[in-house]
Amino acid sequence: MRANIHPTWFQEAKVTCACGNVFYVGATVPELKVGVCYNCHPYYTGQMKYLDTAGRVDAFKAKQAKASTNVVSKTEKRHLKHLKKLQEEMERPDTLEQLRKAAK
């Protein structure tokens, strides 16, 4: 095995929960902060508790709102660009005389 490739192991890494509970585990970082632990998790406590970690509900609502907007596919964009190009060509003067009149 190669030497000096493994992370440092902290035997007594401090874990702090949002509820205030503190406990120690082994980890590769000296300190961890968690939102839910065994002391406050609804599965272990038997109490129904609303957990919204990092705004998941808001993120979901924003995602749904974005999806409901009118999305134009790549094929439609190409078609619109092609129609615009054709329209510009139709507006061009056909003869040199018309071009001179348009320039005045």
- What are the CA-CA distances from residue 76 to residues 72, 81, 93, 97 (Å)? 6, 9, 28, 37
Say how many domains are in the chain: 2
What percent of the chain has a predicted confidence (pLDDT) above 90? Answer: 39
Question: In DSSP terms, which residues pair with 25 in a beta bridge?
Answer: 13
pTM for this structure?
Answer: 0.43
Higher pLDDT, 85 or 69: 85
pLDDT of residue 79: 95
Please report which confidence band the pLDDT of residue 75 belongs to, taking 50, 70 and 90 as the band edges.
very high
CA 69/CA 67 separation, integer angstroms? 6
Domain assignment of residue 95, yes or no: yes
pLDDT in tens, 53-65: 667 778 888 888 8
**Domain that includes residue 86, residue range:** 72-104
**Number of separate helices (H) and strands (E) present in the chain:** 4, 3
Please report which confidence band the pLDDT of residue 51 belongs to, taking 50, 70 and 90 as the band edges.
low
Cβ-proximal residues to 19 (8 Å cutoff; 6+ apart), any chain: 36, 37, 39, 40
Domain assignment of residue 63, yes or no: no
